[in-house]
Amino acid sequence: MRRIPPLLLFLLVAIPDKHGNAVVAKDEAECEGWATSGECNLNPTYMLQHCPEACEIQAELDRAMADDIEKKIGHINSFFELEARNIDKELVKFDQFRGKVTVITNVASYCGEFVSYFTQRSFYANDKYTLDLNTTTIGYTESHYNGLVKLYEQFKAEDFNILAFPCNQFGKQEPEECPAIKRFAKKKGVDFTMMDKVDVNGFEAHPVYHYLKKVAGPYVVSPSGSVQSLSGVEPLDLVPYILEAISEQDEL
């Protein structure tokens, strides 16, 4: 079910007082839910006016979580120090992607909404480009998987990889376990690397996603590279950016 944004919900819950003036129905549970989902940052004016306590509590929780996450990944200085399990539970060391172009994406077996952003970065001489198609556009599993398959077919002859992480955090669209997900991906013609099912948001998110969000946020520019974030993109929309990355890769 699609979540109703706070401003719209405000119109639904406003009720008149005895003088006929609109009064917002304050609901602690609603405020807590909105704060937890990030509305204090997305809609600060509304939230700080109507749910200040919930925002204050959430800010404390966010700071504590950030400290805990830093303890988990603070020792990681490079993308190539990361590792994760593939869909067969085999360890994949990211050092093998050094000098290559990589797309990292979360995927799901059932259609619905997913979010996408593209990240390009070059932090070290041999750390060329990582493209993170990590989920804010409405789309469907069908087009998402098909787009990734076409993207991989187009660039697999280059030093190019796709790492697809199944995730159930977006609308519960991936309830299956890895064996079933692997069969589903095979039916879709997937020849790129399917990874283990993980969380990509919150404290329990996989360290790969914690690290990407830390060093490749939408407004971070490194001394030797750049970061781009693209909202509302399909996989094939990344083609010109991959071509640019491959072109610059050849020049290094």
Q: What domains, with CATH codes, occur in the chain?
A: 6-73 (no CATH), 79-251 (3.40.30.10)
For CA atoms 78, 80, 83, 88, the dihedral sign is positive
Q: Is the pTM of this model over 0.75?
A: no
CB-CB contact of 83 with 204 (8 Å): no
Known catalytic membership, residue 167: no
Block residue for tokens 């690397």: 193
Catalytic residue chosen out of the listed positions 31, 55, 111, 167: 111
- Tell me, what's the pLDDT at 108? 84
Range from 23-27, 30-34, 88-92 that averages highest in pLDDT: 88-92
Block residue for tokens 């094939």: 236
Query: Is 139's pLDDT higher than 90?
Result: no
Neighbours of 131 (CB within 10 A): 26
Mean pLDDT of the chain, nearest integer: 73
Which ranges of the chain does DSSP label H, i.e. alpha helix? Answer: 6-13, 28-36, 39-42, 44-50, 52-73, 141-155, 178-187, 207-215, 239-251
- Tell me, what's the pLDDT at 109? 81
**Residue type for position 229:** S
- Tell me, what's the pLDDT at 26? 56
- Rounded Cα distance between 247 and 252, Å, is 9
Q: CB within 8 A of 78, min separation 6: which ones? A: 123, 124, 127
User: 91 falls in which pLDDT band (50, 70, 90)?
Assistant: very high
Residue-wise pLDDT tens digits, 186-225:
999 999 999 999 988 888 889 988 887 776 543 222 223 3
